[in-house]
């Protein structure tokens, strides 16, 4: 079949997306069960139409197009989702696959109609390699695919236009990255790290670094006494690049930016290593200098390299280890590496003398969101309007907040006036009130965690909260915040107590309400996910279960692979989870009055301090 250029270009992206869709459907059991209703949440900031085409392709190729009805949730420019068509189809059709944009809150009437809700994972290097081969007949390496994926996807697929090889696309992308790197650093615009809201521990580190660099410049401090390597991790959009540039401003230091993608585009392994050494030499010549290495997880971990590219990747890691080894040629160069996936980085890169300090940048809290909005709006806004905007943007990254501020400024600019409170209100996403019945369920759930955890000495409660209104990014309505002591050694009982506390919310629902909701599972980071991981660790790596076998597992993904590959392990994990759930239910039965008392107090006040919880439990 003959296709024009635009059709081929679209096919590459759709084909790459289809592998992720196929994987999600396989996890949901769509290829094994008939007439299931499945919700697929697409990756953040991706076009739903591309995934709709990808889903259609997968259903056709697997002969499932007649089994499943395909439906897509549409979102307006104001961020409101239209669920009417989905609701009608779910009522009328037995087999439905529903594509849901990332960050959209699923209404209860839709969630109960879905048998499975799965997160579609971003395109992986292996998927991109397969898509390039399938749609273009060109062979790409996993290393090249990993480098391509380090760029924004829209930019990458634009560079991979028909008639252009992968190497030519990489060269084009590198040129675009270099042009972006030539823009004036943020520090030149007047922002220092002390002016950036949020960042917590990272800001403290930066302010201490500025003082140390001044002492080093005067000759009163040896370079060996300075923290000269930082690994900065966190979700996309949390401002890691902005932070590094602001550190350079505060430290009155030069700023040099690089990435594996930029070095890779220079050519083969020798060119890669030469480009990397040139970057470090440039930073040394400009000392004191902040050298920022973006998307650092692209370097990889030597323990995970396989296949024909393993030797290449090992040489890359070894080259960067050599550059980071703390030798005199690095005097005056502070390296800040940024990543969204710290577990994907070779442990040797994080040892003393290299990137020995690791700080995780969290999504901004309520106060930080107010400060970020004020910073980007460039003007003071009424406190009540700012507070409402902060509540409505729970779960937003710094980049998303900056976009919201840009939208408000654009609205004011088009009206030829300064930003007003009405502009902020107009671009603020709507809050969805939580009805009393759903909120009562959430209050009972959190009270269950609190009572079971208190009974088992899980930690000290700092606060319990269940919100009255949900923001678009909220995955849950409430949580219990614990303060836990650090332990050098942990017994089997402590691990078991952790599981029981995590399942305390589900136990309270079952005992107090007589039914359970999906609030304990369904997403990464849920109670059930964390409990299953702890149970897997006990059974498979610590010898605290039904055997003494040992398996190496560093991440939650590793633990999931162990469960999927070993049916005996799955049975043991299930048995352990059920035993701890029963123990949690017994605690709730014995202390049902405490659970109901705390649930009622949270229902009334929305936020309950740890001191108030202790008073209620002692009364």
Mind listing the pLDDT tens digit for each residue in 332-355? 889 998 888 887 787 788 777 788
Q: Which of 446, 509, 539, 580 is catalytic?
A: 446
Q: What are phi and psi of 430, to 5 degrees?
A: -75, 145
What is the pTM assigned to this prediction? 0.55
Q: How confident is the model at residue 494 (pLDDT cuts 50, 70, 90)?
A: very high
Show the tokens assigned to 219. Answer: 């000759």
Q: How confident is the model at residue 492 (pLDDT cuts 50, 70, 90)?
A: very high
Superfamily of chain region 436-618: Peptidase M41 (1.20.58.760)
Q: How confident is the model at residue 80 (pLDDT cuts 50, 70, 90)?
A: low
Residue 308 confidence (pLDDT): 60
Q: How confident is the model at residue 103 (pLDDT cuts 50, 70, 90)?
A: low
- Residue 536 reports pLDDT greater than 90: yes
Show the tokens assigned to 483. Answer: 């303060």
What value does the mean pLDDT of the chain take? 83
Specify the CATH architecture of the domain 184-360. 3-Layer(aba) Sandwich (3.40)
| 446 is known as an active-site residue | yes
Residue 266 confidence (pLDDT): 60
Give CA–CA dist 449/595, Å, rounded. Answer: 9
- Give the pLDDT mean for 214-230: 83
Counting residues of the chain whose pLDDT is more than 70, the rounded percentage is 91
Give CA–CA dist 480/602, Å, rounded. Answer: 11
Which of 148-162, 477-491, 498-512 holds the top average pLDDT? 498-512
Which of 175-179, 274-278, 454-458 holds the top average pLDDT? 454-458
Q: How confident is the model at residue 496 (pLDDT cuts 50, 70, 90)?
A: very high
Element (H, E) at 115: none
Which residue has tokens 């442990």?
347
Q: List the one residue out of 334, 328, 329, 337 whose CA is nearest residue 213.
A: 334
- Give the pLDDT mean for 161-182: 71
Lowest mean pLDDT among 38-42, 303-307, 389-393, 502-506: 303-307
The domains of the chain are located at 5-123, 126-178, 184-360, 366-429, 436-618
Residue 262 confidence (pLDDT): 77
Counting residues of the chain whose pLDDT is more than 90, the rounded percentage is 18
Say which DSSP state 434 is in: P
Give CA–CA dist 321/42, Å, rounded. Answer: 36
Are 300 and 257 spatial neighbours (Cβ–Cβ below 8 Å)? no
Higher pLDDT, 25 or 108: 25
Lowest mean pLDDT among 63-67, 120-124, 296-300, 472-476: 472-476
Burial class (CB in 10 A: 0-12, 13-18, 19+), 54: buried
Residue 443 confidence (pLDDT): 94
Give CA–CA dist 72/49, Å, rounded. Answer: 8
- Residue 60 reports pLDDT greater than 90: no
Residue 330 confidence (pLDDT): 73
Q: List the one residue out of 146, 478, 128 whose CA is nearest residue 299.
A: 146
Residue 216 confidence (pLDDT): 85
Higher pLDDT, 363 or 529: 529
Residue 183 confidence (pLDDT): 39
- Residue 570 reports pLDDT greater than 50: yes
Q: How confident is the model at residue 79 (pLDDT cuts 50, 70, 90)?
A: low
Q: List the one residue out of 425, 472, 400 whose CA is nearest residue 102.
A: 472
What is the CATH code of the structural domain delimited by 366-429?
A: 1.10.8.60
Domain 5-123 shares a fold with domain 184-360: yes
- Give the pLDDT mean for 204-222: 85
- Residue 618 reports pLDDT greater than 70: yes
Residue 184 confidence (pLDDT): 39
The C-alpha angle 471, 472, 475, rounded to 5 degrees, equals 85
What is the CATH code of the structural domain delimited by 5-123?
A: 3.40.50
Helix (H, G, I), strand (E, B) or coil at 254: strand
- Residue 45 reports pLDDT greater than 90: no
């Amino acid at each position: 079949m003959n296709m024009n250029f635009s059709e081929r270009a679209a096919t590459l992206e759709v084909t790459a997306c289809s592998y992720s869709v196929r994987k999600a459907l396989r996890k949901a059991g769509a290829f094994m069960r008939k007439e299931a209703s499945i919700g697929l949440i697409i990756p953040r900031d991706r076009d739903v139409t591309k995934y709709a085409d990808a889903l259609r392709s997968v259903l056709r190729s697997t002969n499932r197009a007649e089994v499943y009805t395909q439906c897509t949730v549409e979102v307006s420019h104001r961020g409101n989702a239209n669920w009417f068509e989905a609701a009608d189809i779910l009522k009328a059709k037995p087999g439905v696959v529903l594509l849901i944009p990332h960050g959209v809150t699923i209404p209860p009437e839709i969630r109960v109609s879905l048998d499975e809700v799965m997160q579609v994972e971003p395109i992986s290097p292996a998927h991109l390699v397969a898509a390039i081969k399938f749609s273009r007949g060109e062979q790409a390496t996993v290393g090249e695919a990993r480098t391509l994926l380090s760029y924004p996807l829209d930019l990458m697929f634009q560079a991979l236009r028909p008639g252009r090889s992968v190497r030519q696309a990489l060269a084009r992308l590198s040129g675009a990255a270099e042009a972006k790197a030539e823009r004036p650093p943020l520090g030149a615009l007047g922002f220092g790290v002390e002016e950036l809201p949020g960042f917590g521990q990272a800001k403290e580190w930066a302010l201490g670094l500025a003082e140390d660099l001044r002492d080093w410049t005067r000759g009163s401090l040896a370079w060996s006494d300075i923290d000269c390597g930082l690994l900065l991790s966190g979700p996309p959009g949390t401002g890691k690049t902005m932070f590094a540039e602001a550190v350079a401003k505060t430290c009155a230091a030069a700023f040099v930016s690089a990435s594996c993608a930029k070095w890779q585009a220079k050519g083969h392994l020798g060119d890669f290593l030469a480009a990397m050494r040139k970057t470090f030499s440039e930073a040394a010549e400009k000392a004191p200098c902040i050298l920022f290495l973006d998307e650092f997880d692209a370097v990889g971990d030597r323990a995970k390299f396989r296949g024909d590219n393993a030797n290449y990747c090992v040489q890359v890691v070894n080259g960067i280890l050599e550059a980071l080894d703390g030798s005199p040629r690095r005097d005056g160069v502070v390296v800040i590496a940024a990543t969204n996936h710290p577990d994907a980085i070779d442990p040797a890169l994080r040892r003393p003398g290299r990137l020995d300090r690791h700080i995780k940048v969290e999504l901004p809290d309520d106060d930080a969101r107010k400060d970020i909005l004020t910073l980007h709006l460039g003007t003071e806004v009424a406190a009540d309007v700012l507070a409402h905007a902060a509540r409505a943007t729970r779960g937003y990254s710094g980049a998303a907040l900056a976009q919201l501020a840009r939208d408000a400024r654009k609205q004011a600019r088009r009206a030829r006036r300064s930003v007003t409170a009405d502009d902020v209100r107009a671009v603020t996403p709507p809050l969805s009130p939580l009805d009393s019945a759903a909120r009562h369920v959430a209050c009972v759930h959190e009270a269950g965690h609190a009572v079971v955890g208190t009974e088992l000495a899980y930690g000290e409660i700092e606060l319990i909260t269940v919100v009255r209104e949900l923001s678009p990014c909220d995955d849950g309505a409430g949580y219990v915040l614990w303060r836990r002591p650090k332990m050098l050694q942990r017994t089997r009982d402590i691990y078991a107590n952790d599981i029981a506390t995590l399942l305390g919310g589900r136990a309270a629902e079952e005992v107090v309400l007589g039914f359970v909701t999906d609030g304990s599972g369904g997403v990464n980071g849920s109670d059930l996910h964390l409990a299953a991981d702890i149970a897997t660790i006990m059974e498979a790596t610590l010898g605290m279960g039904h055997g003494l076998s040992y398996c190496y597992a560093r991440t939650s993904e590793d633990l999931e692979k162990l469960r999927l590959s070993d049916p005996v392990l799955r049975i043991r994990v299930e048995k352990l989870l059920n035993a701890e759930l029963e123990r949690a239910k017994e605690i709730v039965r014995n202390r049902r009055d405490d659970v109901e008392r705390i649930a009622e107090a949270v229902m009334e006040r929305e936020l309950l301090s740890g001191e108030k919880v202790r008073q209620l439990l002692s009364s």
